[in-house]
């Protein structure tokens, strides 16, 4: 839109509007002559900026001089410049005018008629303004125009802002923005990388090419990323389950010196994020343990539990183990009633992983009053908690000498072999074992396959070997690890019960070949139950 040259009185009014420092100066203009619709719009936009945060702002809304400015604006609204019109649309709600009111609807309608002619910059401003008002009839049209004109987007700030503000409102536009962000990735500064990663995480958009590009360019940035960048990127990567070893190494390395400046909630969140990413940085984990000891009085029981659950997931034992767990037991003893059933189950299970389970904790979650609340619940969270209760029950039976009960009832431990269950979900390693084992053993009846034990762990194959290491028909012998045993014979003298256990990629730490806490607990339980383990691991070199 070509803006006409202003001379004489109009130019003087314009300078008065731009130089005004008090709302009253602008309101007085409504009584003067020579005020056209464009100047009235400029005065309204300037008035909204000056009135912001002032105690007398509500009084301005009902001032008849404001109504006069609105009347002048509405009289020849088609003559208002595009820039001024967009500013007025943003100013009216700030001045207290209802969004459904006639004045706002009149301006919205004029903007709607001009959308095709608006510069892209003003479309972006409109999108930012309307993002928090989904009921506006203007918003869908603005988003549609942006989607059609996405190739005109220039500058990283615009792309990042649109992704953060309106990407969640228009998935098709968000796809275009991701393409443009990939094109501009090299120009992003650190804060823009942070904001873009957060936008992807909050919208659950795991755009791998863009995440890889952000990671690459982040690694080119100088050291000392800054605490907000570190914590937000860690949150985003964990939310999207995006594991980039070099980035995670840098985040853990640079986060460690800043631990003392974090709040307990932030420390707990960081611990959970690294655990979700299966990334164990021992120096950082030691720092988190020491932070917990130094700031015990400031930490809620939920924060402490988040840290211990994260340690268990990563199978991490602090070097100050005795001091750390003494503190934890003391805090749990005083505040365990604050935990909901699922969190309490997670914590006791974590203590089992870390070999710190005490009889009072076991009794608390294995009592019928506690576990019956979970047993009938079919939600994924309850099913996960129930399986952990079975693992806790196994710990109580196999690893806590002198524990007398209570235990889960036998009928609750469904541990039958089920060779065909979840066949369609089998991994390549699992399918390969199923195909190879019967032939290797010399017959299908010499092994029991895909066994679900009463311990809560699945075994890929079970074999009974005699004293000469020759396989025996497994179905002939008693199987205390099953809820219903097929055979009745005891194992012959010198015979061994062998379990073949498969470890997949997600069961290992991202940094190496160390099993995570869940796998370590399964290994311990099966060995204590009398099995010799043959462990078959995922091979990263396999095709």
- Give the total number of structural domains in the chain: 2
Q: Is the pLDDT of residue 231 over 90?
A: yes
Q: Which residues of 343-361 are buried (b: 16+ CB within 10 A; e: fewer)?
A: bbbbbbbbbbbbebbeeeb
Q: Is the pLDDT of residue 279 over 50?
A: yes
Q: In which element (H, E) is residue 451 found?
A: strand 448-452
Tell whether 88 is covered by a domain. Answer: yes
Strand partners, 534: 500
**Residue 180 exposure: Cα atoms within 13 Å on the Cβ side:** 25
Per-residue confidence at 314, pLDDT binned at 50, 70, 90? very high
pLDDT, tens digit, for every residue of 179-222? Answer: 999 999 999 999 999 999 999 999 999 999 999 999 999 999 99
Strand partners, 458: 452
Contact 460, 433 (CB under 8 A): yes
Q: CB atoms < 10 A from the CB of 398, how many?
A: 16
Q: Is the pLDDT of residue 157 over 80?
A: yes
Last residue of a domain, one of 118, 149, 172: 118
Q: CB atoms < 10 A from the CB of 457, how many?
A: 25
Tell whether 45 is covered by a domain. Answer: yes
In this predicted structure, which of 28-32, 197-201, 302-306, 350-354 has the lowest mean pLDDT?
28-32
Span 366-388, mean pLDDT? 89
Tell whether 89 is covered by a domain. Answer: yes
Tell whether 300 is covered by a domain. Answer: no
Tell whether 493 is covered by a domain. Answer: yes
CA distance 240 to 202: 9
Which pLDDT score is estimated for 17?
A: 85
Last residue of a domain, one of 64, 98, 118: 118
Higher pLDDT, 541 or 275: 275
pLDDT, tens digit, for every residue of 471-524? Answer: 888 888 998 999 887 788 899 999 999 999 989 888 899 877 789 999 999 999
Which pLDDT score is estimated for 102?
A: 87
Q: In which element (H, E) is residue 343 found?
A: helix 341-353
Higher pLDDT, 460 or 214: 214
Span 418-445, mean pLDDT? 69
Contact 433, 461 (CB under 8 A): yes
CA distance 294 to 292: 6
- Host domain of residue 81: 1-118
Q: What is the 3-state secondary structure (H, E, C) of 122-190?
A: HHHHHHHHHCCCCCCCHHHHHHHHHHHCHHHCCCHHHHHHHHHHCHHHCHHHHHHHHHHHHHHHHHCCH
**Residue 510 exposure: Cα atoms within 13 Å on the Cβ side:** 19
Higher pLDDT, 139 or 415: 139
The pLDDT > 70 percentage for the chain reads: 95
Of 168, 166, 94, 169, the closest CA to residue 123 belongs to 166
CA distance 341 to 344: 5
In terms of Cβ atoms closer than 10 Å to its own Cβ (0-12, 13-18, 19+), residue 25 is middle
Q: Is the pLDDT of residue 427 over 80?
A: no
The answer for residues whose C-beta is within 8 angstroms of residue 466's C-beta and 6 or more apart is 472, 492, 494, 495
CA distance 351 to 326: 12
Q: Is the pLDDT of residue 361 over 90?
A: yes
Tell whether 76 is covered by a domain. Answer: yes
Per-residue confidence at 418, pLDDT binned at 50, 70, 90? very low
Per-residue confidence at 417, pLDDT binned at 50, 70, 90? very low
Which pLDDT score is estimated for 3?
A: 54
Tell whether 106 is covered by a domain. Answer: yes
Higher pLDDT, 329 or 423: 329
Last residue of a domain, one of 54, 83, 118: 118
Tell whether 162 is covered by a domain. Answer: no
Per-residue confidence at 33, pLDDT binned at 50, 70, 90? low
Q: Is the pLDDT of residue 533 over 80?
A: yes
Per-residue confidence at 4, pLDDT binned at 50, 70, 90? low
Which pLDDT score is estimated for 540?
A: 53
pLDDT, tens digit, for every residue of 434-455? Answer: 777 777 777 777 888 889 999 9
């Amino acid at each position: 839109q070509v803006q006409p040259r202003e001379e004489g009185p109009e130019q003087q009014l314009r300078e008065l509007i731009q130089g005004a420092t008090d709302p009253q100066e602008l309101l007085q203009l409504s009584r003067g002559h020579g005020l056209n619709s464009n100047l009235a719009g400029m005065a309204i936009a300037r008035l909204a900026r000056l009135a912001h945060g002032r105690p007398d702002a509500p009084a301005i809304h009902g001032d008849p001089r404001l109504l006069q400015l609105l009347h002048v604006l509405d009289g020849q609204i088609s003559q208002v410049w595009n820039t001024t019109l967009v500013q007025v649309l943003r100013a009216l709600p700030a001045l207290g005018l209802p969004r459904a009111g006639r004045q706002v609807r009149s301006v919205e309608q004029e903007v709607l008629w001009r959308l095709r002619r608006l510069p892209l910059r003003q479309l972006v401003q409109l999108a930012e303004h309307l993002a928090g008002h989904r009921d506006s009839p203007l918003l869908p049209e603005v988003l549609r125009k942006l989607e059609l004109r996405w190739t005109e987007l220039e500058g990283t700030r615009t792309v990042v802002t649109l992704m953060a503000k309106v990407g969640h409102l228009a998935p098709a536009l968000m796809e275009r923005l991701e393409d443009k962000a990939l094109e501009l990735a090299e120009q992003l500064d650190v804060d823009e990388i942070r904001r873009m990663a957060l936008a992807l995480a909050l919208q659950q958009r795991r755009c791998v090419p863009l995440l890889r590009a952000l990671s690459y360019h982040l690694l080119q940035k100088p050291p000392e990323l800054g605490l907000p960048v570190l914590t937000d990127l860690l949150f985003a990567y964990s939310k999207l389950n995006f594991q980039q070893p070099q980035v995670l190494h840098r985040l853990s390395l640079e986060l460690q010196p800043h631990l003392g400046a974090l709040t307990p909630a932030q420390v707990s969140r960081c611990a959970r994020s690294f655990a979700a990413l299966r990334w164990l940085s021992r120096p950082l984990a030691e720092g988190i343990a020491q932070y917990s000891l130094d700031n015990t009085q400031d930490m809620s029981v939920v924060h402490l539990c988040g840290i211990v659950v994260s340690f268990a997931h990563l199978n991490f034992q602090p070097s100050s183990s005795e001091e750390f767990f003494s503190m934890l037991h003391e805090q749990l003893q005083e505040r365990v009633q604050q935990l909901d059933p699922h969190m309490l189950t997670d914590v006791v299970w974590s203590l089992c992983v870390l070999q710190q389970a005490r009889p009072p904790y076991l009794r608390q979650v294995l009592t019928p009053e506690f576990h019956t609340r979970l047993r009938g619940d079919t939600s994924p969270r309850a099913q996960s908690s129930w399986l952990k209760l079975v693992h806790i029950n196994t710990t109580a039976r196999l690893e806590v000498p002198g524990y007398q009960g209570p235990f889960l009832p036998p009928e609750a431990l469904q541990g039958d072999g089920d060779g065909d269950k979840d066949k369609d979900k089998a991994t390549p390693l699992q399918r390969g074992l199923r195909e190879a084992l019967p032939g290797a053993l010399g017959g299908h009846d010499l092994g029991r396959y895909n066994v679900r034990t009463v311990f809560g762990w699945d075994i890929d194959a079970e074999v009974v070997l005699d004293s000469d290491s020759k396989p025996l028909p497994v179905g002939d012998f008693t199987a205390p690890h099953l809820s219903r045993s097929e055979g009745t014979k005891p194992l012959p003298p010198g015979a061994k019960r062998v379990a073949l256990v498969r470890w997949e990629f997600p069961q290992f730490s991202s940094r190496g070949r160390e099993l995570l806490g869940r796998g370590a607990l399964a290994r311990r339980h099966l060995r204590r139950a009398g099995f010799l383990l043959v462990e078959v691991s995922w091979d990263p070199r396999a095709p």
